[in-house]
Amino acid sequence: MPEPLIRIARPDDEGELALLDRATWSPLHAVTPPPRPPYDSFFGERSGPRDHRVAEYGGRLAGYVRLGFPTALAANRHVRQIQGLAVAEEARGLGVGRALVRAAVAEARERGARRITLRVLGHNTPARALYASEGFVVEGVQPGEFLLDGEYADDVLMGRSLV
């Protein structure tokens, strides 16, 4: 199986990324309602192309990962956070998600981060398994943090050291 090509997102990826984001929306990982028109821009004030790594597989955009800061505070500028990960349905099981997580870890290191963190819903077993296999550990759980479709879901905080 060929490896996905990982690259920095370009401004002209916005339309395709927006479509991918809407196509991959799922209650498994989303805490927001399903997207409905008029759609927001994919890139915004807080995260532009430079904050995204995209995966190309078989010549098509197959996924993305968004890397940002957990807060705007100077006191934790040494921490980066995965703030979004999506893989196209047809690319799942091909190593795209793993390649994107590894790219986020590498990028965080290159930017001088000492830690990388993320938040994942407790019932998102596939994502939790992927993150754990890449060295992330559960650092905290906020029980019943979200009410989704009438069910309470835990917010699981995971992280790993980069030093």
- pLDDT, residue 2, reads 84
DSSP bridge pairs for 84:
66
Residues 20-72: tens digit of each pLDDT: 999 999 999 999 999 999 999 999 988 999 999 999 998 899 999 999 999 99
The residues with which 160 forms a beta bridge, in sequence order, are 116
pLDDT tens, residue by residue, 107-125: 999 999 999 999 999 999 9
Q: Verify cis geometry, omega within 30 degrees of 0, for the bond prior to 38.
A: yes
Closest CA relative to residue 158, chosen from 145, 135, 150, 71: 135
Model confidence pLDDT, tens digit, residues 126-147: 999 999 999 999 999 999 999 9
The reply to whether the predicted model has a pTM over 0.75 is: yes
pLDDT at 1 exceeding the cut of 80: no
pLDDT at residue number 44: 93
Task: Report which of 23, 17, 62 is spatially closest to residue 43, judged by C-alpha positions.
Answer: 17
pLDDT of residue 66: 98
Q: What is the pLDDT of residue 82?
A: 98
* pLDDT tens-digit series, residues 143-159: 999 999 999 999 999 99
